Amino acid sequence: MTHVQEEVWLHYASDRLTPEERQLCEVHLEQCDECLELYMHALDKQSGDIPEPDMERLTQAALSRWDEYTGADPAGSTARCGSSPDRDERRSWMRHPVFHYTVAASITLMLMGSGVFQVFTQQASAWGDIGSQLEKQQRPPSWSEQLMERTTGWLAAIRPKANEAERRGQRDE
């Protein structure tokens, strides 16, 4: 397999290859780990060539676009972000979160006082009891339960014989 030169990878990284050459390089990258390392090296070299962005200029450009979008005075208006100076509306009291919390708490207290939640819990517990009873009725005894039953039966059968032998031993004395 022939490897691609590092110079070609530099051209690939800077997008200076024809579409056909780019396609060949991409196919080769999928198959060759050594060329992938060369490509990563080329990317590292190229990243050093990229100049740092002028943050002040970017900030000013973004703020001027924002001012154009909101229609605010680009000379430095004192209006808060998101509100225009000609529109000074107060928020309706029905849109305030405290109003929503108060309504929700009132409805909750009303439902609790009327016993709606108690009915729900009683029905849920009844369904749980019915479900556990059905589970016990439909479930066949497990292997361990059967083993315990047999063992208990054997012990019960052995114990009376032992008790009889003890009684006979006491009578003989």
Local confidence band at 43 (pLDDT 50, 70, 90 cut-offs) = confident
pTM for the complete prediction?
0.30
- The span from the CA of 52 to the CA of 160, in Å, is 97
CA angle 116, 117, 121 (to 5 degrees): 120
Tell me the one-letter amino acid at 75: A
Angle between helices 6-13 and 33-49 in degrees, nearest 10: 60
Local confidence band at 5 (pLDDT 50, 70, 90 cut-offs) = confident
Average pLDDT over residues 148-158: 87
pLDDT in tens, 50-104: 677 788 988 999 999 998 888 765 555 544 555 554 444 566 878 888 999 999 9
Local confidence band at 141 (pLDDT 50, 70, 90 cut-offs) = confident
The tokens describing 170, both together, are 């006491």
By percentage, how much of the chain surpasses pLDDT 90?
12
Please answer whether residues 10 and 47 qualify as being in contact, where contact means their C-beta atoms are separated by less than 8 angstroms. no
* 25-34, 37-46, 74-83, 108-117: range with lowest mean pLDDT: 74-83
Residue 155: the pLDDT is 85
Domain parsing of the chain, residue ranges: 1-49, 95-135
